[in-house]
Structure 1
């Protein structure tokens, strides 16, 4: 049986590309052609064999065997995936003129060779797709699992924390090829299901009101006899003040400790104290134990306090016993020396240091509505309270409930069937539901409780293949499978009622209705899930927390800036989709989305206002386009230095759609000199002088060096920062940055603006790359050889909109790539 024709990529991007790579001419050919298939199999037809004989076997026959390759033994056994990939590489390298090296072939020789090989490759791949489908068994990702379970049970808890981390193949965690399910992961699914059911049934059977407290300044302020890192009170203002300082855990408030783990909504009334010239003090809100015994702090959110008293609201999952910490968290502010921060109240304020005033904090436990939970678990059935012998004065005895039913067995059947249809995202047959029903009936007979029987049935359903996996048969998807794929693509969750209705009517696959539903989903606020999860994986933003910038080299980097970086990119991608803006904006644009903190980081004049705003960029801003967002510049650096290789490969694969193979194992890494004695360009020039490195550097180096104008945290630079050897100074200017380079085509540039002009002049390439990523993410498999003409059609169909991003999404969804397994 044929397997999906995909090339395995390294899962750790930075490890795989932390050094330069390429191939010797012989190794190039080895990677190009691979290991010859069984010599006893039929050889290639005359038209192909003659071309190889004339142009290739002089170096790669049985006697010369250059690069370890004997083309005399090459077969055309395309049913073998490895052999197929071998010939696909032959086709691509000859078609682009990369092979044979240092030789221009006559089109009269090349055209019939490529046509003959193309016909055979497409026919074989098309036959595989017709038989097996493009996508092998594909399951819900752990974030999709969490959303689906929480919607089914009308709760909101972080179930993904129970499940193993996802693997990434072809950039995305939705790709079926890497979605393995082991005994360990199945145990994790059971644990997650149990936690979800526990939360849902507890809410159903509990009538207590959730926590809702307001703590005024007097309850929040520190004990002046034992300050213990808490904000100081100001009786004359009836508030507390948290000052800007670097003292660990300063700004903590023990009175805010929550009694139980859960989701909380935090409201606070605040204003700035002694703000800088910008008029605002950026503050962070975190939760934690706030001492060295459990030092991990969890991000709740941030806000910008101004001279006007304002109320802010944040929501987060907070663990039992954790308290809130509110503190100015902007490295651009003057800070109170650590030894002074616990001095008597009133000591710091005359110094004019920035701080934040807090009048009160309100903490409310966010609980699911009991009526919603009851409908989710019981449908139309009602609960009745069971009388107990316990005294009414005993407040510690929980209330007991049971389902009101005159026909428990039939009601159990109906309720389980209704739940299964929602869970499986399609109608279910009695035959496939029979084992679950019988299991639930047995539990009812043994325990005598419908609640226990339903819970057991739901646990079985939430761990069943019909729930965990996308059920798609080879060929064109039926309307239910299409609804499921569409909804998970754009909302990351199963279809809503309207989609289910169109699927039931068999009308969703109508092109006009499918287009209308696509627009409806994109215009809904729930499409934020698609924007963020697709962007995180496409641009590698899920790595944003994997490195911490060196505090000596980049002392201006703080938590507020860190959490702002992805917000710019999310807002930008959303804007591209909402307004169907041309795909070239990914490379260059005259706008972006900023808040005042990020504007200061970019040295862009802030137009005023609060929060993220669309900002017009001037010609000298050195910004515009996703490729110069600080978010992507940070994830393509290691916290201390930048690498043109890492950024070059990122640009080629994520933006330009050119796959770069993993480096040979015998090529050593390029380690930038943080002392500034040797430039990265000098090191790479020496590195790529090796024949084994030169071929790939021709592609990698141009975009990689252009992006060297941006440092580890995405700031503009003319010179590299180097570690200072003197006392008191954390870093010094190192060698100058040289962003100039040229492409193999001969197009040269001197700056990032020059690179942008060259790349943005190729909108078809950018559109094809994005369409490929969208198809891979949405379907669970990367396009293969037989899909190439479909991709061409997708790109051509969006030319009239200047390759608008929303248009590309529409055309992907309308294509056979999306509508077939």
Structure 2
């Protein structure tokens, strides 16, 4: 009980309260604490959360009640939620009477809501923020009419807050950032301008022309003028060994068009192998732009040379595996081969640009791609052997031979411009005339090659035409003002006050000309300043309802991750429900909405980190350097989420569904009915399949593992936060992480039992560990597992050959236990029962998704006072069973979206 004789009254009760039995002050700030909270805290909270115990690092005895302080507010909100959810007081403690708990929650909720509403009224929902680097790139594309522009990777990584790169708390601007914006703006402007220096051309590159394809092997000397042992010179299905011996020319050339069209190089390895790489290095991409790529390919099978080692080593159940193909025995392929196309940059990076299937019969595929100046094209037949130094065999080989993939030629058309001059030139200089100056710029040397290996490169390698566009003004100053006004009006996301707004930029232009710069370069300097100005970089944000142009901007940066198009800007009645709904529907149907889906999933589900966890080559050799699986896993989740939106499917599909999207590699990974083909298709899941929903998709399971082991702690916390929307606090300081035992001596469950034996650890782990246990039947890349793998002395040995051609040996250790008990006492034996428990509250799944959309769209998390509005959004979506498109419409129509 409170000793009322020691409570000082000053009109209203203050935080200076002294508790009986020697309790210290409950709080010391000069902010009033509602009277109803005192007794409840003393009777049910302070026994564990006073200044002495401070369990969970929470000291309610000295916690202020200044709700204008961000951290203090968050702590009291956490106190409210844990009491509201029945988590506190703990079950072992005396439970408060319902009336007392209700009074406590009502009083605390009222105070928190009032403070939150005052904050929003004063400061707005979201902070002022700059565009993130992907929004900057998309905005540049719009302003410069250059959809092919790639500039995001020139800017520093953006900070994240509540998992997204959309909030002002992390999107500040430093001097380094400003410098990078100026550099990137200059690069983008010159790319847009120089598009006018290159009219579209079509050039065919025959694989067997000397210098077209560059083969190199890091551990062998020399840049091969003749093909290395990885390449098989072919004329259709006829090998030409004399080419390897040097007694026959690489190609017949134009003297025999029919034979020239049949000539090819064949490969039985993938080009991502470390032992050998092959590129269409001689391709000339003269400038950034859109291009049309055509490539003629086919598949074959190379006969075995008779040297088997499977029998000698007792590997793979005694099945024979063949060392090398016989390049003198080539047969028609017996299946298709999936091929991925990469743009291989001069600095050694590879960028995915497309995938296709190559078939036994020669076929020409066509893809429209965005390329950068100097890119090479790298095809990679990802199912084939990906050799590493010291390789010992081919997992795809059988007694009939080794599968292979052949390329006849590659054709490049572009840069493709539907108008002339290109739209990107017109976006800067309108209809002003220009002339082109040209020099020859040698292609930079390829990476990873020494001076010794570069002998002959300059003679064989291509040169890129270095052209510079010079704009010819009629009246320089008059043209400059006119162009700057048009450019600034398009660049800004709000109307210009008047024409005088461009004067600072015109001054930059005049200063540049005074320094002797040409009209073109002076205008580039002024344009760069516009693209680095606050009006371009920053999203508008001040308290109050959004104006029409601001709704358009918020909607476009939500659904397109970029600025509004002209159609959206022209809508004058976006405050009306019908108009806003129509535009939302139109934008979701546009291809630019892929930007939203990709970016949202990259940050909500951490898909951007899918390449961060490299599978261990010994424990998981079937996943090591398997780029096909990585690619398919990522695209599955994107296509799945797109389907939920397009078909307005219920949010429960996030937890479990009767379908997914898979290609051949993913179907094999999931144990589905086999089929050929690299393209993803919608597939029905068997009734007893553990797949369905996000939880068991390979991408999610991979980003929640570390490449060597799974962890129910990490996976459980991730699922609980990202999918269920339950906040998980960071672990207390000084608590060491649980490291799984890769020797197989103990299971992770046994280690966790010791780790969570203390009440302080168990209180949190009981929330999220069960979700992790339910997923223990899935390995580090999402494959179904019944036993853990280990590298120690325990368990049954498993030996074989990996995709890298190396021998591996691991052990099947302890069996997996995927059972568990939820914090409310419900139990499950496997992933099926776990999903059933989650689906008992579909509204909770939808509620989390609504909150994620609000945060992504507005840059601000849902405030305490806005919780009722979330429930109203959910109420409006009940008829559609919380369909994803319905949720998006409801979010866009809500006040949370339409106020700053």
Same fold (TM over 0.5): yes
Once the 2 structures are TM-superposed, how far is the Cα of residue 594 of structure 1 from its aligned partner? Answer: 0.7
Q: Aligned residue for 1:459?
A: 528
2:44 counterpart of 1:55: yes
Q: Aligned residue for 2:568?
A: 499
Gaps of 5+ in 2: 1-23, 216-223, 238-261, 302-330, 439-463, 800-806
- Structure possessing the higher radius of gyration over alpha carbons: 2
Q: Aligned residue for 1:29?
A: none
CA contact under 8 A between 1:424 and 1:467: conserved in structure 2?
yes
More helix by share: 1
Q: Aligned residue for 1:801?
A: 880
579, 593, 603: which one aligns with 1:527: 593
Take 1:70 and 1:662, find their aligned partners in 2: how far apart are those partners?
A: 17
CA-to-aligned-CA distance 1:273-304 (integer Å, 9 cap, x gap): 139998322234345489xxx87555444333
Q: Aligned residue for 2:855?
A: 776
Task: Label 1:782 to 1:445 Cα distance change in 2 as closer, same or farther (>3 A).
Answer: same
Q: Aligned residue for 1:136?
A: 127
CA contact under 8 A between 2:200 and 2:416: conserved in structure 1?
no
Task: Label 1:564 to 1:60 Cα distance change in 2 as closer, same or farther (>3 A).
Answer: closer
Take 2:640 and 2:753, find their aligned partners in 1: how far apart are those partners?
A: 36
Take 2:332 and 2:701, find their aligned partners in 1: how far apart are those partners?
A: 28
Take 1:397 and 1:335, find their aligned partners in 2: how far apart are those partners?
A: 38
Residues 319-328 or 157-166, more deviating: 319-328
Residues 426-435 or 619-628, more deviating: 426-435
Once the 2 structures are TM-superposed, how far is the Cα of residue 209 of structure 1 from its aligned partner? Answer: 4.9
Q: Aligned residue for 2:576?
A: 510
Take 1:312 and 1:59, find their aligned partners in 2: how far apart are those partners?
A: 69
165, 187, 197: which one aligns with 1:173: 165
Alpha-carbon RMSD across the aligned residues, in angstroms, is: 3.3
Which residues of 2 match residues 176-195 of structure 1 at below 5 A? 176-195=168-187
Q: Aligned residue for 2:382?
A: 329
Residues 710-719 or 267-276, more deviating: 267-276
Once the 2 structures are TM-superposed, how far is the Cα of residue 185 of structure 1 from its aligned partner? Answer: 1.1
Once the 2 structures are TM-superposed, how far is the Cα of residue 73 of structure 1 from its aligned partner? Answer: 4.7
CA contact under 8 A between 1:267 and 1:313: conserved in structure 2?
yes
Q: Aligned residue for 1:313?
A: 366
Task: Label 1:432 to 1:48 Cα distance change in 2 as closer, same or farther (>3 A).
Answer: farther
CA contact under 8 A between 1:544 and 1:634: conserved in structure 2?
yes
2:547 counterpart of 1:478: yes
Take 1:95 and 1:515, find their aligned partners in 2: how far apart are those partners?
A: 36
Take 1:424 and 1:449, find their aligned partners in 2: how far apart are those partners?
A: 26
2:506 counterpart of 1:437: yes
CA contact under 8 A between 2:293 and 2:413: conserved in structure 1?
yes
CA contact under 8 A between 1:229 and 1:249: conserved in structure 2?
no
Which residues of 2 match residues 512-661 of structure 1 at below 5 A? 512-557=578-623, 558-606=626-674, 611-661=679-729
2:461 counterpart of 1:382: no
Once the 2 structures are TM-superposed, how far is the Cα of residue 143 of structure 1 from its aligned partner? Answer: 0.8
CA contact under 8 A between 1:587 and 1:625: conserved in structure 2?
yes
Once the 2 structures are TM-superposed, how far is the Cα of residue 268 of structure 1 from its aligned partner? Answer: 0.9
277, 282, 288: which one aligns with 1:256: 282
Task: Label 1:187 to 1:404 Cα distance change in 2 as closer, same or farther (>3 A).
Answer: closer
Q: Aligned residue for 1:756?
A: 835
SS state of the match for residue 457, structure 1? helix
Once the 2 structures are TM-superposed, how far is the Cα of residue 426 of structure 1 from its aligned partner? Answer: 2.2
Take 1:249 and 1:317, find their aligned partners in 2: how far apart are those partners?
A: 29
Once the 2 structures are TM-superposed, how far is the Cα of residue 475 of structure 1 from its aligned partner? Answer: 0.8
Take 1:799 and 1:306, find their aligned partners in 2: how far apart are those partners?
A: 48
CA-to-aligned-CA distance 1:320-379 (integer Å, 9 cap, x gap): 7664443432268999996999xxxxxx99962100122221134535563312320123
Task: Label 1:148 to 1:68 Cα distance change in 2 as closer, same or farther (>3 A).
Answer: closer
Q: Aligned residue for 1:7?
A: none
Task: Label 1:699 to 1:56 Cα distance change in 2 as closer, same or farther (>3 A).
Answer: closer
Q: Aligned residue for 1:76?
A: 65
Which residues of 2 match residues 211-250 of structure 1 at below 5 A? 212-215=203-206, 217=208, 226-228=226-228, 231-237=231-237, 238=262, 239-244=264-269, 248=274, 250=276
Task: Label 1:55 to 1:443 Cα distance change in 2 as closer, same or farther (>3 A).
Answer: same
Name the structure, 1 or 2, with higher relative contact order (CA <8 Å, separation 6+): 1
Once the 2 structures are TM-superposed, how far is the Cα of residue 647 of structure 1 from its aligned partner? Answer: 0.7
SS state of the match for residue 730, structure 1? strand
SS state of the match for residue 776, structure 2? helix
Take 1:615 and 1:299, find their aligned partners in 2: how far apart are those partners?
A: 25
CA contact under 8 A between 1:231 and 1:250: conserved in structure 2?
no
CA contact under 8 A between 1:221 and 1:230: conserved in structure 2?
no
CA contact under 8 A between 2:274 and 2:388: conserved in structure 1?
no
TM-score, normalised with respect to structure 2:
0.79
SS state of the match for residue 699, structure 1? helix
Take 1:98 and 1:254, find their aligned partners in 2: how far apart are those partners?
A: 62
SS state of the match for residue 556, structure 1? coil
Take 1:397 and 1:769, find their aligned partners in 2: how far apart are those partners?
A: 53
Take 1:221 and 1:398, find their aligned partners in 2: how far apart are those partners?
A: 26
CA contact under 8 A between 2:384 and 2:403: conserved in structure 1?
no
SS state of the match for residue 176, structure 1? coil
2:103 counterpart of 1:108: no
SS state of the match for residue 355, structure 1? strand
Take 1:712 and 1:580, find their aligned partners in 2: how far apart are those partners?
A: 31
Take 2:889 and 2:135, find their aligned partners in 1: how far apart are those partners?
A: 22
CA contact under 8 A between 2:619 and 2:708: conserved in structure 1?
yes
CA contact under 8 A between 2:621 and 2:808: conserved in structure 1?
no
2:439 counterpart of 1:360: no
CA contact under 8 A between 2:333 and 2:403: conserved in structure 1?
no
SS state of the match for residue 357, structure 2? strand
Gaps of 5+ in 1: 1-34, 342-347, 389-394
SS state of the match for residue 485, structure 1? helix
Task: Label 1:162 to 1:750 Cα distance change in 2 as closer, same or farther (>3 A).
Answer: same
2:35 counterpart of 1:46: yes
Take 2:875 and 2:713, find their aligned partners in 1: how far apart are those partners?
A: 32
Q: Aligned residue for 1:126?
A: 117
Task: Label 1:484 to 1:158 Cα distance change in 2 as closer, same or farther (>3 A).
Answer: same
SS state of the match for residue 761, structure 1? helix
Once the 2 structures are TM-superposed, how far is the Cα of residue 216 of structure 1 from its aligned partner? Answer: 5.1
422, 427, 439: which one aligns with 1:371: 422
CA-to-aligned-CA distance 1:236-264 (integer Å, 9 cap, x gap): 54232111368535351465354657455
Take 2:200 and 2:206, find their aligned partners in 1: how far apart are those partners?
A: 18
Residues 259-268 or 562-571, more deviating: 259-268
Task: Label 1:210 to 1:812 Cα distance change in 2 as closer, same or farther (>3 A).
Answer: same
Task: Label 1:730 to 1:266 Cα distance change in 2 as closer, same or farther (>3 A).
Answer: farther
TM-score, normalised with respect to structure 1:
0.86
Matched residues, number: 766
